Amino acid sequence: MAHATLKSHNQSPRKVRLVTDMVKGKKVPAALSALEFLPRRASEPVAKVIKSAVASAKAEGKEPDDLVVQSIIVESAGMMKKYMPRAFGRAAPIRRRKSRVIVTLA
């Protein structure tokens, strides 16, 4: 089993899960080719994490074409909170969500 982690990606986990659910359970070449033509912002970082997991599997002596994306976990990596000034001296919160992506290949 090979693992790779993207610790902090500046996009909400809900949007990243739309991309990761598409490649879960696929073989690595099929997953990478699907991500290449997907018009979503999260597809490039997810492909990079999968390639990183493939590289660590190669270091363990496994054949990359036989690997399958066993699981991709997308969780919240916290958020950046700031405030936007509004009318009458009020402030509105802005929450920039971040996500963590953990890939396991088998």
Mind listing the pLDDT tens digit for each residue in 4-55?
Answer: 999 999 999 999 999 999 999 999 999 999 999 999 999 999 999 999 999 9
Q: Which residues pair with 90 in a beta bridge?
A: none
Compute the C-alpha angle 104/105/106, nearest 5°. Answer: 125
Q: What is the DSSP letter of 41?
A: T
61: domain CATH number is 3.90.470.10
How many independent structural domains does the chain possess?
1
Helix axes 43-59, 13-23, angle to 10 degrees: 50
Q: What is the DSSP letter of 65?
A: G
What does pTM read for this prediction? 0.92
Question: Could you tell me the residue range of the domain that residue 77 belongs to?
Answer: 2-105
